[in-house]
A and B are shown apart, each in its own frame.
Chain A
Amino acid sequence: MKMQDSRIIAAPRDSVFEAILKPEMLKICIPGAEEVTGSAAQGFEALVVQKVGPVKAKFRGTVKVEDVVPGTALRLVGEGKGGAAGFARGAATVTLADHPEGTELTYEVDAKIGGKLAQLGSRIIDGFARKMADQFFERFKKALEIETTFDGSTG
């Protein structure tokens, strides 16, 4: 299941890049994240509860940061085991570019959901993966824009 989208974030590029690697930011942005620990270097541990329609799955997994090009690009690779519900794997390739209103963040997500969750028919699963990706970057945009306007500086 592949999708791509982009967001204009009213914040300078390097502060956007730094923000994306902070555990607290991941906790705010990953929909349903209850705990996020660790660091960009060693990778993050996350407990995520995701609810779509009849499904309320608890995923325990890791988020690794790869292919880092400081300031301009990186890849977030997440893998969560939902116990009997199955598993979720996703990779988000994020690229940043300067933009008159701040930074243009484009992301390409390749999500794979498996086990029992996948068996529930595409009606729910496509929505499930797309919702997690869209919400992640929407919350990231909001969190970053508040942070920047709040202290006025480049964070």
Chain B
Amino acid sequence: MTDTLLPDGGTEDVPVTKRADWQSDQEVRWCPGCGDYSILTALQLLMPDLGVRREKTVFVSGIGCAARFPYYMNTYGMHSIHGRAPAIATGLALARPDLDVWVVGGDGDMLSIGGNHLIHALRRNIDINILLFNNQIYGLTKGQFSPTSERGKVTKSSPIGSCATPFNPVSLAIGAEASFVARTHDMDRHHMQEMFRRAYEHPGASIVEVYQNCNVFNDGAFETITKKDVRDDMLIPLRHGEPIRFGTEGQFGVARHDGGVEIVEVADVGVDALLVHDEARTDPSTAFALSRLAEGPDRPTPVGVFRAVDRGEYGEAMRGQVDQMESDRGNGDLRALLHSLPTWTV
């Protein structure tokens, strides 16, 4: 497939950049103290390390506070409409495999109105990196519950509490055949960067759930697990090839139990009983089980890469078909096409 008109994207070495090169000239307009800032910083600091070109990088977003993200990156970017970023990014990524396409959105944008595009992008394994900023609230519209808000949540649109069970974004993604699923949070720059890098490196669709604090409408939603002083006991780091273990002294761990997983005290069961994390299992069942450990951010919650398997990216297959037809039939010949049905001459 020859896209002669498209920029060939520089054959010289990727230039060395620094954070400032990735910062756009736009004033950042989130509320002071918003968790989005630290995510932005993490990514802007990471980009120079990825060895990618700014002009080959595109951020696509929907609408919401999170969705303002593209404005602040000195890359290409589209701030589209509510919920549709995964669909738009799908078209862009399929058309332009030379680009790195990132999708950024909030829990409302991507799980409420955009839920269908999200699960289909994951299923198809489109080569995009999805960052889901989950603050469990609608920020931009000033505080209604979202599909990740806990049951009973009191908000402007649920004055005596919401009635709905929330999605667990990791479970949903795994149920939708996602090939890469990770979780991180806005209080740990290093961990975010690790997850973003892994998402970037993954062929096909990757989704990273980022617990993000909305200090205006849902302040402290993740405090119980992400605050520095509780983190060790409340976050369960998933590390490929390692037994899943956490706690200030590593006193807790995760072990299989009745088809799922449960938290155990290492002292009780011994290290060998701990589940050794294997993010590359073809069968997503264990990854799914891990996603069930915490129903909400009030119990010890796994962070890290739940699942990372290479199962073939959609665009490659799609472009393969163009190539196949080209090699079967030669490059398109318009005259031949027009004459392909029975013709007669007067």
Q: Do A and B bind each other?
A: no
Interface of B with A (CB < 8 Å)?
A: none
Interface of A with B (CB < 8 Å)?
A: none
